[in-house]
Amino acid sequence: MQRRFLQYSLIFLCAFLVAPLAWAQEDEVTFNVNLSKEKLGVNERLRVEFKMNKDGDNFVPPDFEGFKVVMGPSQSISSSWINGKRSFSKSYSYILTPAKQGRFTIEQASIEISGETYKTVPKAVEVTPAVDNPNAPKTIDDVADESLHLVAEVSKSSPYLNEAVSVVYKLYISPNISVTNYRPIDNPKYNNFWSQDIPVTKYNTVNTTFKGKPYRSVVLKRMVLYPQKTGKLEIEPLSLEIYVDVPTNRRDFFGGRIYKQASKMVSAGKRLLNVRRLPEKGKPTNFGGAVGQFDFSVSTSKSSLNASESLQAKIEVSGKGNLKLFQLPEPELPSALEVYEPEFEEKVRTTSSGMEGKVSNNYTIVPSYKGKYPIPSISFSYFNPKTEKYHALESEEITLDVLQGPTDATSSIASNNGTPKFIVPTGKQFHFIKVTPNLSEIDTEFFFGSTRFYLFLISPLLLIPVAILVFKRRKAIASDVEGNRLKRADRLAKKYLSTAKKELGNKDHFYIALEKALHNYLKAKLKIVTSEFSKEKITVLLHDKDVDEDTVNGFIALLKNCEMARYSPFSEVQMQQDYDKASEVISKMDKQL
């Protein structure tokens, strides 16, 4: 009996000692990190799972230095009761891809559980060169990687300076997946290029092949570029985030395949153009930078008129090429013809192959004297990239016949060789002067002593104070150098911006006219050629001319607005603001130049 009592006492004592240990073990918190593999190739993926047996807050993952997170964190929670015992598990999972080869460490993660902070143990990972692993199951991201390719197709890799280059961005899509949407992440800036975006209004899918496999392709973006600098120029990459539906191996209740959405970043990669200089051999002396295929004409609205009447002379270039990027030739007219500043007219549209249309300068001409006046032949030259030769076009000489009006002593007529020749006319040079005037005597008795007599006598004395006031006023105006400069600058701004002002409310025509006005102003002031028309070059030139930073930034901002207006909505209020800003910038710049 005593022996049995001792046995029971021993069992009770053991149970009493072991129970607290079991309870302590049950309540112990665990927070661990599990890796899918500790050694992997640079082309493989790594799954990292942070797991705990109690719920916590404020989870802080490591930086994952040397890896790129392609998915995660994915959170999962499981809880169950078995034989009256609760089982709980919570985990955070990440999918990583190595950035390069080497040996890396998955650093500590931390979490707060029941008011205390717990951390995982760092784990080392070795990344080896790429491995062949055809039997490994592909994840959704693997399928998306293999099924999407963004390519920039360039029409010419070695264009000439100012020759059109077409860039088409195509997305190649495998038939295994479907694209739901996309958004641009990084748009190229096209430095050292004149660029024009060709809007894609409809996305048409075409069945094609890519690297020998069947694909579908769709054009997402089109650009036309005109290089403004020779040498090796880089086209920055276009990067997009594509949202796709990828099929999985799971089936729904009706047997249909279940799709899962994923996002994939794709980039077209950088493209390098080798821009060639225009050849010096055969280059005409009057070459102004025109590159393409053009026709040239000079015409007048009338060939005979009277003195003081006006006519219109049009110098027009039409065809296909860099129509917005060169200067039209100017006529050389006899001094007896009064010529006003030309009105520029542009009818140019930009397609995927480049600019085409026509540009012209319309001159208003007013003859002052009777006679025959020649408009000499005008020459226009351009470079044709297809023939790789320069071509020169000349207009026919036009003779203006002024029928009625005073005769100038140096009236010009056309000589046999087509150049103006000045002669002195004979005969009635002074026929307009009356040599037999009809004069009558003044009645001295009526005039002298009359009211008119005293008014005429006193009026010079009365005009002296008025003359003094006028003289002081003119002197004050002449001494106001700053005010005179501002007035001249305002008139100059209105002159260049007159066309843009007429197009207020019409976005496309307004910003085309505004951009042309800004370029024409620079041509007139800085005497620069078209090939230097990059924003960087303009900034350097203006700084060299001691134009202040705010004015330069305002001018460049206006040029950027003109470019953005081609593919962005602009309100009439914004157009008015840009017009006012352009007038202000030109006025300030003219004062400083």
Inside any domain, residue 468? no
568 with 505, same domain: the answer is yes
Q: Check whether residue 390 and residue 334 sit in a common domain.
A: yes
Structure tokens of 348?
């140019």
149-158, 394-403, 581-590: which range is least confident on average?
581-590
Residue 264 resides in a domain: yes
Residue 17 lies in a domain: no
pLDDT tens track for 462-512: 788 888 888 888 877 767 665 555 555 556 556 667 777 777 777 777 878
C-alpha 118/C-alpha 30 separation (Å) is 8
Residue 457 domain-assigned (yes or no): no
Q: Tell me what pLDDT residue 104 has.
A: 92
**75-93 pLDDT tens trace:** 766 667 777 677 778 888 8
* Mean pLDDT computed over every residue of the chain: 80
Check residue 298 and give its pLDDT: 95
Whether 368 is in a domain gets the answer yes
Rg, Å, the chain Cα set: 42
pLDDT digits (tens, 9 = 90+) for 347-365: 999 998 899 999 999 999 9
Q: Which CATH number fits the domain that encloses residue 130?
A: 2.60.40.740
- DSSP assignments along 243-287, one per residue: EEEEEEEEE-TTSPEEEEEEEEEEE---EEEEEBPPPSTT--TT-
Of 255, 331, 253, 343, give the one whose Cα is nearest residue 299: 331
Is the bond into 184 cis (omega within 30 degrees of 0)?
no
pLDDT > 90? residue 14: no
Q: In which residue are the tokens 């002067």 written?
A: 433
Same domain for 335 and 363, yes or no, is: yes
Residues 146 and 116 in one domain: no
Q: Give domain status of residue 203, yes or no.
A: yes
Is residue 371 a contact partner of residue 330, using CB atoms and an 8 Å limit?
no
- Whether 245 and 329 map to the same domain: the answer is no
**What pLDDT does 497 receive?**
75
**Shared-domain flag, residues 43 and 168:** no
In a shared domain, residues 263 and 339? no
Mark whether 124 and 148 lie in a shared domain.
Answer: no
Does residue 204 lie within any of the structural domains?
Answer: yes
Q: Are 359 and 376 a contacting pair, CB within 8 Å? A: no
Last residue of one domain, picked from the residues 134, 151, 183 = 134
Q: Please, what is the Cα angle at 141 between 139 and 144, to 5 degrees?
A: 115
pLDDT in tens, 220-276: 999 999 999 999 999 988 888 888 888 776 776 676 777 778 888 888 878 899 999
CATH number at residue 312: 2.60.40
**Confidence (pLDDT) at 429:** 40
Residue partners of 396: CB distance under 8 A and separation at least 6: 298, 377
* Helix extents (H) in 480-534: 481-496, 498-502, 507-526
Phi, psi of 101 (to 5 degrees): -80, 155
Sign of CA dihedral 444, 450, 455, 461: positive
Range of the domain at 580: 481-592
Residues 108 and 170 in one domain: no
Based on the fold, state whether residues 298 and 241 are members of the same structural domain.
no
Residue that is last in its domain, among 244, 275, 306 = 275
Single-letter amino acid code for the residue at 517: A
Q: SS3 letters for 526-541? A: HCCCHHHCCHHHHHHH
CA distances from 386 to 74, 230, 231, 267 (A): 59, 18, 20, 32
Q: Are residues 48 and 130 in the same domain?
A: yes
User: What DSSP designation does 545 have?
Assistant: T
Domain count for the chain: 4
Same domain, yes or no, for 241 and 122?
no
CATH code, domain with 553? 1.20.120
pLDDT bracket for residue 133 (50, 70, 90) = low
Q: Is residue 286 part of a domain?
A: no
pLDDT value of position 424: 39
Let me know: does 105 contact 124? Beta carbons within 8 Å.
yes
In contact, 98 and 39? CB cutoff 8 Å: no
User: pTM higher than 0.85 for the full model?
Assistant: no
Q: Among 103, 119, 134, identify where a domain stops.
A: 134
Q: Is 114 exposed, middle or buried (0-12, 13-18, 19+ CB in 10 A)?
A: exposed
Tell me what pLDDT residue 469 has: 85
List, for residues 316-332, the tens digit of each pLDDT value.
Answer: 999 999 999 999 999 98
